[in-house]
């Protein structure tokens, strides 16, 4: 096989038959040292021999090489059949680019010759030295780090370096989260301070007219200080609708001391919440924080926590409990007094500060004057938030009515009393009611008469109630039902009189059955008449 022969090789997988030597994938200057030649091969088994011949770029493949390199070491492998071999630093008499022809032989003696395999960039190279980040382990009291180093130009043939002033260095902090640049001074030195935001790699590179160079990246791990939240009060018991104010101090540990930690965003929210509703606060210069919430429900547990990551502090939490006494109020309270002095009551007992469907007992109470002597006339069962109706509550001619819920100590619910409503009607009566004569001869006339009177609310005096209709009823002897015999209208004096033909024994009575909304029914005395 001659130096000018070209064998076309295909990628050979381990364990398969092949008809040629290793496949030459590439040849190039090593990134860290341009005087070092890297050759990448695909191969099977082992590589027993590797030769690289250098000739000036642009020269013919038949031209004699200026250098032949045989001292290679496997630097790394990406798989069992793909690896890179690196030479020792190469010494050449002249700077420039050199075309690389490669000859590779495997363990079975199969050889591949690959002309124009790549280029050795044999030029003065920009390099970094002394790149470091200090402090190497920043802490909460030393959060600013400084990335510093030196840049120089290295001659590949002599290995000598000289400072590289005016070079723009690209720096990356916080694992790539923050980027900036620096320009080297006359001695090729640069130094950049940065307040660290998070752990991660710090890197520096140069990409200028001389080419590309990168310093070895440094991983910076801040030391996180223990923290604690010291609450001024950790449990509260309030009434529904009242706010709680949670205050305290965030501290970090420094040696044996605890110091305030300022500028840290915190939030307070329901612990293990399913529907989150956080409130936020940031600690002040003294590490103080304050949250305001209006608790809801019988008992709430809140958690105070860091809202964002900080590499210098261990995240701590604090729990706050808030018990809430629910309150109640009556709405839609009505009371109506009918003509028979029976009361109808409606209302709704609302629960504030809690969502439950529990039952409650509501007392319907009466007081003659609306101030004292309240007594319960009926107790009804109801559900919070649902309207209830109570019918036919025995009433009074005048007085005040209210609703009362006693509350529950076991369920932590505060009782309440409604406003009071005055309900009354004027009394009516038929005075001097009489059916005469008695006894009476059958066929003769029986006369029923009387005087309709009213006693207005708040008055102790009866007065004539004129121009109203009075019903005259009759119940035959031995019967149980009353029969309407006539309806008469009272005179201005309230008096009335009506004659009837006597037909049988029985009882007569005048009644006032159809009053307006301001009066009760009234009646007179029953009078039995014997008809002979």
Q: Say how far apart CA 221 and CA 444 lie, in whole Å.
A: 125
**Residue at token pair 């309900």:** 423
Residues in the chain where the model's pLDDT stays below 70: 1-19
| C-beta atoms surrounding 376 within 10 Å | 11
Tokens of 118: 């790549």
Q: Say how far apart CA 240 and CA 325 lie, in whole Å.
A: 6
8 Å CB contact between 163 and 274: no
108-140 confidence digits (pLDDT tens): 999 999 999 999 999 999 999 999 999 999 999
C-alpha triplet 369, 338, 482: angle, nearest 5°: 130
- Burial class from Cβ neighbours inside 10 Å (0-12, 13-18, 19+) for residue 243 reads exposed
Q: Say how far apart CA 100 and CA 87 lie, in whole Å.
A: 13
8 Å CB contact between 24 and 114: yes
Across 106-138, b (16+ Cβ under 10 Å) vs e yields: beeebbbbbbebbbbbbbbbbbbeebebeeeeb
Listed in sequence order, the residues at least 6 apart from 114 whose beta carbon sits closer than 8 Å to its beta carbon are 6, 24, 101, 102, 103, 104
Listed in sequence order, the residues at least 6 apart from 466 whose beta carbon sits closer than 8 Å to its beta carbon are 452, 490, 491, 492, 493, 494
Q: Write the DSSP symbol of residue 175.
A: G
> Phi then psi for 473, rounded to 5 degrees?
-110, 155
| C-beta atoms surrounding 80 within 10 Å | 12
pLDDT of residue 507: 98
Judging by DSSP bridges, how do beta strands 111-122 and 23-29 pair with one another? parallel
CA atoms within 13 A on the CB side of 32: 9
Q: Say how far apart CA 154 and CA 33 lie, in whole Å.
A: 9
């Amino acid at each position: 096989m001659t130096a000018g022969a070209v064998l076309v090789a295909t990628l050979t997988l381990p364990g398969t038959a092949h008809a040629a030597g290793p496949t030459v994938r590439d040849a190039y200057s090593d990134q860290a040292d341009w005087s070092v030649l890297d050759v990448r091969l695909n191969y099977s088994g082992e590589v027993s021999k590797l030769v690289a011949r250098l000739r000036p770029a642009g020269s013919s493949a038949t031209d004699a090489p200026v250098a032949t390199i045989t001292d290679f070491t496997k630097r790394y492998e990406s798989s069992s059949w793909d690896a890179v071999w690196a030479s020792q630093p190469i010494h050449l008499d002249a700077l420039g680019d050199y075309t690389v022809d490669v000859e590779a032989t495997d363990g079975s003696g199969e050889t591949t010759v690959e002309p124009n395999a790549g280029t050795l960039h044999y030029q003065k190279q920009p390099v970094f030295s002394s790149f470091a980040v200090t402090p190497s382990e920043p802490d909460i009291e030393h959060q600013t780090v400084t990335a510093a180093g030196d840049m120089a130009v290295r001659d590949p043939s002599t290995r000598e370096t000289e400072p590289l002033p005016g070079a723009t260095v690209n720096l990356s902090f916080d694992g790539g989260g923050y980027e900036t640049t620096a320009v080297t001074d006359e001695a090729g030195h640069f130094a950049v301070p940065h307040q660290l935001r998070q752990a991660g790699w710090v890197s520096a590179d140069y990409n200028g007219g001389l080419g590309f160079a990168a310093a070895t990246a440094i991983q910076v791990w801040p030391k996180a200080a223990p923290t604690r939240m010291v609450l001024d009060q950790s449990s509260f018991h309030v009434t529904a609708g009242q706010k709680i104010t949670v205050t305290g101090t965030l501290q970090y540990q420094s040696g044996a001391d605890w110091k305030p930690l300022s500028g840290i965003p915190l939030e307070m929210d329901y612990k293990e919440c399913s529907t989150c509703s956080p409130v936020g606060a940031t600690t002040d210069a003294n590490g103080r924080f304050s949250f305001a919430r209006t608790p809801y429900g019988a008992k709430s547990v809140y958690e105070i926590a860091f809202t964002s990551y900080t590499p210098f502090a261990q995240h701590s939490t604090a729990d706050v409990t808030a018990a809430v006494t629910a309150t109640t109020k009556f709405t839609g309270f009505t009371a109506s007094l009918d003509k028979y002095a029976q009361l109808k009551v409606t209302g709704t007992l609302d629960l504030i500060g809690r969502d439950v469907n529990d039952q409650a007992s509501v007392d319907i109470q009466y007081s003659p004057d609306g101030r004292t002597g309240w007594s319960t006339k009926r107790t009804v069962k109801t559900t919070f938030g649902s309207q209830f109706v109570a019918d036919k509550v025995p009433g009074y001619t005048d007085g005040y009515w209210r609703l009362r819920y006693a509350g529950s100590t076991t369920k932590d619910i505060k009782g309440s009393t409604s406003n009071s409503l005055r309900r009354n009607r004027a009394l009516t009566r038929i005075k001097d009611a009489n059916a005469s004569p008695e006894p009476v001869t059958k066929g003769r006339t029986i006369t029923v008469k009387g005087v309709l009177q009213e006693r207005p609310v708040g008055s102790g005096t009866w007065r004539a109630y004129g121009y109203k209709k009075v019903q005259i009823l009759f119940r035959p002897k031995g019967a149980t039902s009353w029969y309407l015999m006539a309806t008469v209208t009272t005179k201005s004096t309230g008096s009335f009189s009506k004659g009837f033909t006597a037909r049988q024994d029985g009882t007569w009575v005048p009644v006032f059955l159809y009053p307006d909304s301001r009066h009760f029914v009234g009646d007179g005395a029953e009078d039995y008449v014997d008809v002979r």
